[in-house]
Amino acid sequence: MSSEESGQSKWVGIGIALCLIGAGVAAFLNEPRDPAYDPQTAAEGLPRRVAKLLSEHTATRQVGPAPEGPIYLTVRRDGHRLAETWQDGDNWRAQVATALERLRADDASLDEQADTVVICLPYGYEPLRLRRKRQPLSNIYRGARGLELQQGRTTVRHCPTEMLARNVSSERLVDDFRKAQELSEDEFYEQASARSFEAHQLLVKLGDKPVVHRMLRGNTLVEMKDVNRAGVEGLAKAMTDWMVNSLQPDGRMVYRYFPSRGDESRGNNMIRQYMASVCLVRLGNYHNDPKLAEMAERNLRYNFNHFFFRDGDIGLITFRNKSKLGAAALAALGVVEAPFREKLAEYELPLRAMTRHMQNADGSFQTFYKQERRDNQNFYPGETQLLWAVLYEQTGDPEILERIMRSFHYYRTWHLEGKSERGRPNRNPAFIPWHTQALVKVWMKTQDPKLAEFVFEMNDWLLGVQEWDGARYPDSRGRFYDGNRPFGPPHASSTGVYLEGLIDAYRMAVALGDEERRHSYRRSILRGLRSLMQLQYRDDADMFYISKREAVYGGIRTTLYDNSIRVDNVQHGLMGILRILETFNAEGPW
């Protein structure tokens, strides 16, 4: 380079640097700044303690965009709400202190009782259209945006953290508001108006180790850097704790739990109950733990004592006068994978007979015993194929292989080319993980290329259903949901079961040396794990409103905005994670 070129390059570099500095200064000057506030001006006791924490912790040193209007504050102890209020003012830090002083004036015990203060700082108000039978805020906004309702001189606001803690939809809040105003639907929709708003969410944890958390949707955001061996092992350990804690002394497994209410659902489902049994069996096998094996046996015996019936040589799992193919297949699967299999032989053979009985000559299945029903084709046939694949893996029985391949040929065409009576394609993500798990097991023994081709075709397509770059909020990344296609709402159990299938597809790609698929499946698996980690109850931030934490810890929320825990939210993901850990750990550090 000549000296002239060198000089030109130097001045160009200085010019660029000056531009960058100028842009940085402009950004700094234009960026909203937190208002100055001296915490020593707050009243002694709880107001000053909270004010000092807000001034000391980096989580609150910069809150922008600037809050608008009243702020919301709630005081809690052990998850129970002690007091709440909205507070007007121009300086949000002063508003917090004033609100706490007012609440303490009504209840002096707050100084001693409070262990948590949750603060919402609204901003970004936008008008909403109120329509009959429609949620003013779609589900993805619940917990992220708040709701303001107005009619006449009455204004009611609901902060996102409150909506999460109550597990309540915007539709329900609108209906409650209308009834409180004693208005007919016609009057309400003529007179009422609504707005939504964003809100900075702050959790102030008091006690021996006080801390302030910035929250997103009442939680802390899980980053991809957290999805590593240690993080996933922690995820699995806490999920296992939930399964163990949810098994009752008599062997009954909690089906669904409502953290906001602190009690169980009265509902039940045998497919999900026996999947829980399979999960307990696999946990015992994975850890080689006799205590977990004993729990699995106790659970299976409870289920058989309450739901197993015979019709001659046919064994049935019957609940509410329905005997489903999938329930029988999963009940049998729990037995055939168990180390105590011989103890439950009286149930295994009749249940296996039921699955054979339900297969038609063309390879298709009837799905309900002695009923002309063929619904749930995306689930029950694959669950049966998985049972048979495990049996074939164990025995190499050619008769079992013949049945598997007959169904494989039928359902490959049904899935890829078939249409429903309404003309919709049969292709659905729910079909994929069950058949993937079954066919990979068979392929491992037969090396049949047709099986590998179908597994890859299914799972390549499934990756397009996973949410990532287009996610509206970063906490939804990694879930399997496509709002533009009619595959149903997002659900933790769906993410979990897709991971079960994807890890097997991954293992097949590795075995075949398919590096492109190995990379894409692994990336999808890690993203799915991020989603489950986001949904897990693990710490003070995501359990700030939970009063019975022992019933919740380690559980997986149904969705970001529905905090209920259903047993399949946990069991599917956990069964996938056990295989993920086994596979990825064997490949080296990750």
Which structure tokens are listed for 100? 């706490």
CA 112 to chain centre: 35
Banded pLDDT at 6 (limits 50, 70, 90): very low
Lowest mean pLDDT among 36-40, 195-199, 220-224: 36-40
Instruction: Answer whether 133's CB lies under 8 Å from 93's CB.
Output: no
The 3-state secondary structure of 1-44 reads: CCHHHHHHHHHHHHHHHHHHHHHHHHHHHHCCCCCCCCHHHCCC
The distance in angstroms from the start CA to the end CA of the chain is 45
Banded pLDDT at 486 (limits 50, 70, 90): confident
pLDDT higher than 80, residue 27: no
The region that residue 227 occupies, defined by phi over 0 for left and psi between -120 and 50 for alpha, beta otherwise, is beta
Banded pLDDT at 61 (limits 50, 70, 90): confident
pTM of the entire predicted model: 0.92
Banded pLDDT at 33 (limits 50, 70, 90): low
Lowest mean pLDDT among 30-44, 182-196, 438-452, 527-541: 30-44
Beta strands in 96-219 (DSSP E): 116-128, 145-151, 154-158, 193-205, 211-215
Which structure tokens are listed for 286? 């994975």
Stated as kind and residue range, the H or E segment containing 329 is: helix 325-336
pLDDT in tens, 276-315: 999 999 999 999 999 999 999 999 999 999 999 999 999 9
SS3 helix, strand, coil % of the chain, rounded to 5? Answer: 55, 15, 30
Give the pLDDT score at 340: 98
Of residues 61 and 424, the one with the higher pLDDT is 424
Instruction: Answer whether 54's CB lies under 8 Å from 204's CB.
Output: yes
Maximum C-alpha span of the chain = 98
Which structure tokens are listed for 174? 């609108």
Give the pLDDT score at 274: 98
Q: Which of 350, 477, 488 is nearest to 429 (CA)?
A: 488
Looking at domain 224-587, which of 1.20.1070.10, 3.40.309.10, 1.50.10.10, 1.10.1060.10 is its CATH number?
Answer: 1.50.10.10
448: how many CB neighbours lie within 10 A of its CB? Answer: 15
What's the rounded Cα separation, in Å, for the pair 404 and 355? 12
Give the pLDDT score at 34: 64
Mean pLDDT to the nearest integer, 65-93 = 95
Percentage of the chain beyond pLDDT 90 is 89
Instruction: Answer whether 440's CB lies under 8 Å from 505's CB.
Output: yes
Give the pLDDT score at 28: 37
* DSSP character at residue 540: T
What's the rounded Cα separation, in Å, for the pair 495 and 490? 8
Give the pLDDT score at 58: 78
Give the pLDDT score at 5: 39
pLDDT in tens, 160-181: 999 999 999 999 999 999 999 9
pLDDT higher than 60, residue 590: yes
Mean pLDDT of the chain: 93
Q: Which of 307, 310, 328 is nearest to 380 (CA)?
A: 328
Domains of the chain, by residue range, sit at 39-215, 224-587
Mean pLDDT to the nearest integer, 465-489 = 94
Percentage of the chain beyond pLDDT 70 is 94
Mean pLDDT to the nearest integer, 553-560 = 98
pLDDT higher than 70, residue 29: no
Token pair 């107001």: residue: 47
Sign of CA dihedral 446, 451, 456, 459: negative
pLDDT in tens, 332-382: 999 999 999 999 999 999 999 999 999 999 999 999 999 988 899 999 999
